[in-house]
Amino acid sequence: MKKNDTCILTIHGYTAEGMGVGRTDQGMAVFVPGAARGDRLEVLLVKVLKNYAFGKILQILEPSPHRIEADCPHFGKCGGCDFRHLTYEEELWLKARRVHDALTRIGGFDLPVPEICGSPEVLRYRNKGQFPVGRNDTGTVYGFFRSRSHQLIPLSDCKLQSAESCALAQAVCRWADEMKVAPYDEQKHAGILRHIYVRQGRAGLHLTLVVRRDSLPGADDLVDTCREAVPALCGIVVNVNPDPGNRVLGRACRTLWGDGRLEDDLMGNTFRLSPLSFYQVNHAQTENLYACAAAWAAPDKDTEALDLYCGVGTITLTLAGRCKTVVGVEIVPAAIEDAKENAARNGIENARFLCADAGTAAAKMADEGFRPGVIVVDPPRKGLDEAAVKALCDMGPERIVYVSCDCASLARDAKMLFEQGGYRPTRVQAFDMFPRTANVETVVLLSREMPDDTIDIGLELDELDITATEPKAT
C-alpha cells in the first residue's frame, strides 16, 4: 500500500484521539478521521508508514448505526469538536474504553471497562471560550484553528459555547474594525488583538482581551459596545502577552471596566476567579466530578489532607468541611491569591495554601514529616513529575485520589505509584467533562489495601448525593 491508493475498510474501533480504525485486506491498520464504528468506507490513503497509515473518507458505502448528521457547518474544518458525527451513546462508549485501554496497556492493571458519567448538557455546556482572532474579507473575525494547524476557521456561532459568549466575541470584532485595532499576526509578530477570552459564572460574563501591547484605542467604545451586546457583562480585563509562541495568556492583567474577577458558586461555596486561574469548563459535570473525588477521599474530622495542583481551591474547600485540616498547593500566584480569598469568603479556617511547584512542595513537606491521611492530585495534562510521585509515596497516605484530564499520563503515574509505593487502583470512574471532543476526565482511588483482592469500578450516583441527569443528545 502506498500514498494515494484507495481501499475499502470496515471501522472496528477508535484511536485515543477519536479517529476510526480499520484494517486493509493486507492487515495494515488505517486511521480515519470522522469515521464511526461499523462504517464501511472507501478510503484514500494520505500517509503510509511502515505498520500503519492515515486515510481520508472518499465515500460512505454503508453508514454505521452510530453515525448521525453533524449539526454544525464548521464540523470537520474547525478543530473544536471531534464527535459531532456520532450519537452521544457511542461517544460515551468509546471514552470509557479509552480510559480502560490506558489503564490496562500503559498502567498494566487488570481492569474491567469503567462506568462513565455522561454530561448533563451536551450543547453549549462550556463556561469558558478562548477565541483566536484574525481578519478576512469581511473584517475582524474570531473562531478556532483547524485541527493540527494555525489556520483560523471563522465562526459566527459555536455549539460548545453559550450564545452570550459568541455575541460578546462578535461585539469585540465590530469594535476592532471601528477602531482599526489590528489582529495579531503570529508570522510577523505584529498587530495587537490576539485572543478574545470569555468566562461565564453566576455573576454574569467576564471578558479578557489578550493583546500584544497594552495600547487600546477607543476603550470607552469597547465597553459600550460589549455592554450593549451582552447586558450581563460584569467586567473587562486586558491581559498583555508580548511574547511570540503559542501561549495564550501573558502574566500582566489590568481591569479596564467593572470587576477584575468573575464570581461563581460550586459545591456550596462561592469562588472568585482571576483570568489566570484554572477553573473547570463544565459546571454541572464538575459538581459530579468533585463530589466523587471528595467521597472517595473520605476524610473524617481527624484527617489531615493535602490537595496538590489546587487552583483556586475548589477541591480544597470541598474537603475542608470534612476533615481536620487541608493544605492546597498551586504554582500560579494569582490562583493562590484567589484560593486564600475564597477560603475567607466562605468562612473556612482549616485550609491553608502554598504557592509552589507541586513536586517541590510535596517533597519538602515529606522531608518535614507531614503525613496526610489522604492526598488529592489534579495535575495538568502532562501529569505528575517524578519528584511528586516520590513525595506522595514518602508521605504514605492511606488513600490517593487522582483526578485526571489525560488518561495516558494518569495510567503512567498510577503505574509508578504502584511500583514505588504499592498503591494501585481500587475504584475508577470516568466523567464526560467535554462532550463532542476526544477528551475525558477520570477519577481514580489508589490504595495500598485491596479488600478481597477485588477492584470496584464505578459508583452509584445516589451514594454521592448527585442528582443523576440523563445526557441530552443532539
Question: How far does CA 236 lie from the centroid of its chain?
Answer: 24
Catalytic residue among 7, 323, 393, 405: 405
| DSSP per-residue codes, 8-37 | EEE--EE-TTS-EEEE-TT--EEEETT--T
205 Cβ partners below 8 Å, 6+ apart? 164, 165, 168, 198, 199, 230, 232, 233, 234
The C-alpha atoms of residue 299 and residue 296 are separated, in whole angstroms, by 9
**Residue closest to 199 by CA, chosen among 267, 261, 132:** 261
Counting Cα atoms < 13 Å in the Cβ hemisphere of 170 gives 13
**What residue has cell string 463556561?**
127
What angle in degrees, to the nearest 10, is found between the helix axes of 386-395 and 358-367?
30
118, 88 Cβ separation under 8 angstroms: yes
- How many Å from the N-terminal Cα to the C-terminal Cα in the chain? 38
365, 390 Cβ separation under 8 angstroms: no
Strands 29-32 and 20-23: antiparallel
Q: What is the DSSP letter of 312?
A: T
| DSSP per-residue codes, 64-115 | -TTB---S-TTBTTBSS-S-TTB-HHHHHHHHHHHHHHIIIIIT----PPPP
The C-alpha atoms of residue 466 and residue 130 are separated, in whole angstroms, by 30
162, 121 Cβ separation under 8 angstroms: no
Q: Is 368 exposed, middle or buried (0-12, 13-18, 19+ CB in 10 A)?
A: exposed
The C-alpha atoms of residue 174 and residue 166 are separated, in whole angstroms, by 13
Strands annotated E in 260-365: 262-266, 269-273, 304-308, 325-330, 351-355
The C-alpha atoms of residue 395 and residue 364 are separated, in whole angstroms, by 10
Q: Is 405 a residue of the active site? A: yes
In angstroms, the Cα distances linking 316 to 190, 223, 376 are 42, 35, 9
Which are the catalytic amino acids?
Answer: 405
